[in-house]
Amino acid sequence: MKTKVKIVGLDCPNCARNLQNEINKIDGVENASIELVKNSLVFESEQPQVALEKIKALTKELEPQAKITEKASNSRKNLIVDVCTLTIGIALGVLIFFCPMPLWAFWTIYVASALLLGYKTYWKALKLLCKGIINENLLITISVVGASIVSLEHLEGLMVIALYSIGKIFEGLAVDKSRKSIEALARTQPEYSNLLVGKKEKRVSPSEVQIGSIIVVHAGEKVPIDGIVVKGQSLVNNQSLTGESVPVSRCVGEEILSGGIVLDGTLEIQTTHLFKDSAISKIMDLVENASENKSKTETFISKITRWYTLGVVVCAVLVWGIVWACLGDLSEAFRRGLGFLVVSCPCAFAISVPLAYFSGLGNASKNGVLIKGSNFLDACSNLKMVAFDKTGTLTTGDFQIEKIEAEKDFSAEQILYYAALGEQNSLHPLAKAIVNACKKKLKKVEKVREIAGKGVEFEFENEKYFVGRKNKNLKSTCVEVYKNNSLIGKIELCDTVKPESVAACKQLGEIGVRCALLSGDNFESASVVANAVGIEDVHAELLPEQKFEFLQNCKNAKERVGYVGDGINDAPSLAVADVGFSMGINGAPASIEASDIVIVDDNPQKIVTAIKVSRYTRKIVWENIALSAVIKISALALVGVGLASMFVAVLADVGVTLLAVLNSLRALYFNPNKKKNMKKENKK
């Protein structure tokens, strides 16, 4: 049985990973996963309550500040406590080194300072050591204790733990900032449902509605929960589900999905799903699951740090033994071994790499791009081509009049006017386009009657008119106008290209990414859109399996390719592409589920944003790795031959870690839309 609970007070990616590994060792617990972004723990167990109690006990033992609870995390309160203890600890440290005092007072204040600066680290090190786990917490503890018992190294001991604690605070701030950026996007679900109780409607939260309940949806309202229509008939705009702008008719006995907007009339719907399982809720899940998948770089760093710490301890002992054997000076040997231990601490790698990716994910979400994991963030940086679907991705779904055909004795202007008279109160997107195109002042009409799924009847100047479609063989973007049951004209409309699509294709070319158009429409229609946005590589009249084959061939040719789509038929292509981009508003649930990245506001320019953020984040990751590796290797050599003091060792470890953490924060505050950044990408 799968169980999900909240875990708060945990902001360290490395600590979360270690805790997750230990939870998975508990008997009866399987597939435990800590999702740091949404403060949740998911695990499987045949006896969930028993397993949960064991998990709570283990969490309290290994991560005392973390709690499994249903209450929200008070990260601000925890931060204030950490900053206060750190400030007092540093103040006491400064006091003992600049104010003369008796030896007993010195040691009393020194120990108090060291405890205030790192009591969490020491306690965690002891707890993990009892379980046979050796990590950076133990290295820091050994370094502080070792420096304290070596003459004249007390200051360095406090520096080690002070800088390490400062780094942890910055890490927590970065995680919290990223978490808030992602959570801010999870507020788009319907706010209420009209639950039918007896013969009265009661407005309730969608999450309170049970399966089999009857809900009422009025014109202009969004369908909150999946179900079957039991009363009423109406046109429903399913653009948020299928990406198609032309509404569909829904009547008694037909299925209706959440997210659709009722355009005319009122529907009574018997729910078939809970709100959490409905189509609209699937987008919300994506918002909260952004950090589950790890990049190859992050996974590699995570794996090596498990064995790295033990290796460091062994090497430090070897350095101590070799120096003692060669020089015969036990104190000097101890000092060099301790310095080697301090320099070798893997904090810079273990903290900065996942933090950089986490910051990148937070930055992307803040800019309206939901990336499902750091592995997809990584893959996005290597894209060489992006293939687009046409309808709903490059086009808006907002129609414009393309052609008006009028029978003899009527002008195109008259046909447009009569059509606008009938459509002036309609919510249909085709109706809006017709009314907007008519420049004449519209008069009131009489005896208006909407025929769901067909059109509208009305009387004007004692004549009967019908605006809609009677001929089912016409294409969906054609509106007929009848006068006294005689066809007097037709209005053909066409979808329009998103202005952002033009800019997106241009900017993709500027950063070295080619564009292609894969469309199921005829070549003429596809070419019109391709020419409008500046795409030369056009492939039209493709079936879903042919799009799939095109992308598969690109991958076989070792070309990193992304695909952008919004419909159900795009799901296979989104899945096979190296990176699949789906539309968050108009994307079908299947396409959102199959994609790796969701564009929240359906703006194609956000694809450029995703690539820029990914490249910048990857650059920062390798900057951190290179910086840490070069400085640590150099410092290790100097410490080993006795040319570097404990002070240098501290700077090489904790100082580098702090720099790496601060560097990682740049990924969170990077602005991909600045012209300066555009120029940098152009040079590349």
Question: How many whole angstroms separate alpha carbon 81 and alpha carbon 96?
Answer: 23
Dist. CA 587–CA 591, nearest whole Å: 6
Bridge partners, 683 (sequence order): none
Give 229's DSSP letter: E
Give the whole-angstrom CA distance, residue 71 versus residue 80: 19
- Domains of the chain, each with CATH number or no CATH: 2-73 (3.30.70.100), 193-287 (2.70.150.10), 396-497 (3.40.1110.10)
Query: What is the predicted pLDDT for the residue at 537?
Result: 92
Residue type, 433: A
Residues across the chain? 684
Strand order in the sheet with 2-8: 30-35, 40-44, 2-8, 67-68
Q: What is the pLDDT of residue 186?
A: 46
The pair phi, psi for residue 152, each rounded to 5°, is 65, 15
Report which DSSP code applies to 651: I
Containing H/E element for 118? Answer: helix 103-130
237 bridge partner residues = 261
With contact defined as beta carbons under 8 Å apart, do 141 and 122 qualify? yes
User: Residues 627-646, buried b or exposed e (16+ Cβ, 10 A)?
Assistant: bbeebbeebbebbbeeebbb
H helices then E strands: how many in the chain?
A: 23, 26
Give the model confidence (pLDDT) of 328-349 as tens digits.
877 778 777 777 776 776 666 6
In 3D space, the residue among 184, 174, 367 whose CA is nearest the CA of residue 287 turns out to be 184
| CA–CA separation, 15 and 32 (whole Å) | 15
Q: Has 389 been annotated as catalytic?
A: yes
The Cα 292–Cα 357 span in angstroms is: 12
Q: Looking up tokens 């409008």, which residue turns up?
A: 532
Exactly one of 389, 495, 596, 653 is catalytic; name it: 389
Q: What confidence score (pLDDT) does residue 216 get? A: 94
pLDDT digits (tens, 9 = 90+) for 478-536: 889 999 989 999 998 887 888 889 999 999 999 999 999 998 766 777 888 899 999 99
**And the tokens for 683?**
């040079």
Secondary element (H or E) of residue 193: strand 193-197
**Alpha-carbon span 383 to 516, nearest angstrom:** 13
Name the stretches of the chain with pLDDT < 50.
Answer: 72, 151, 182, 184-188, 241-244, 283-284, 286-295, 678-679, 681-684
Largest CA distance in the chain: 116
Q: What is the Cα–Cα distance from 209 to 193, expressed in whole angstroms?
A: 8
**pLDDT at position 112:** 93
